[in-house]
Amino acid sequence: MKAHLPNFFSVEQATDLVRIGKKYDGGYLVSQSDIEKSEILIGLGINDDWSFEEDFLSCKKVCVYAYDASVSKKYFFKKLIKSLIRIDNLKIFVHWITVLVKYNKFFSQPNVHHIQKFVGLNTESSQHCTFMSVLKVTESKNIFFKIDIEGSEYRFLNDIIACEDRITGMVIELHDVDIHLKEIEEFINQFTLNLVHVHANNFSPIREDDDLPLVLELTFSKYSDVSYDFKLPHELDMPNNKNYPDYKLVVNE
């Protein structure tokens, strides 16, 4: 199925894209050059999947900060205990014990931190912090961002632009694209990093009147070489929902 994007999504695709994160939902295409230049990885939103952070760390030994107040070791342990009630469904039990073990293993490493806070609201509390306060965890000017926070990303797009000189690369998932097109256009036009890849999340539908996908994954790069000769999806892309084919993206002229 074809999906169409407005022309401000015009891509100069990175020539050194690699897939970071697990197959299907949770993996993103980013520039290898940006990985190599990065000193810090800041992930906003992990839920029960930090495969992107794991893969990134295996490519480059960086300090990792993962922000998400919705999960914790205690949360995963509770999920595991509740799954015992449904021990007849072994798949659920195995899932949560695997998640708990992987969580303990990954976040017990030196320089890998889980910050149990939501990022987005303009407030500071035990469970919330601003995007600008996230930047205070490091003085590095070589930060890579992964952002998937279910719509709160629109609250700090201007802050991302304000600190663009400190960003080597970024992958960001944009939700409810249909009602945020103007904000997205302004952000892409003002952000100096190159838009080097775009992928449509096929868990979400496309708008009927103009075939606009409603959830997009955008990759921005500071250091990659680019090419205009490519097709979307990229050969390394995978559908988020493996039970359905990927959307074929067309950027309108």
Q: Give residue 89's pLDDT.
A: 75
The answer for residues whose C-beta is within 8 angstroms of residue 26's C-beta and 6 or more apart is 49, 51, 52
pLDDT in tens, 111-167: 999 999 999 999 999 999 999 999 999 999 999 999 999 899 999 999 999 999 999
Q: Structural domain of residue 183, as residue ranges? A: 2-71+116-251
CATH number at residue 127: 3.40.50
What is the C-alpha separation between 163 and 191, in angstroms, rounded?
Answer: 10
Is 42 contained in some domain?
A: yes
Number of domains in the chain: 1
What is the C-alpha separation between 189 and 147, in angstroms, rounded?
Answer: 19
Identity at 52, one-letter amino acid code: F
Is 134 contained in some domain?
A: yes
Is 106 contained in some domain?
A: no
Is 92 contained in some domain?
A: no
pLDDT in tens, 35-64: 999 999 999 999 999 999 999 999 999 999
What is the C-alpha separation between 24 and 242, in angstroms, rounded?
Answer: 6
The answer for residues whose C-beta is within 8 angstroms of residue 155's C-beta and 6 or more apart is 120, 121, 122, 131
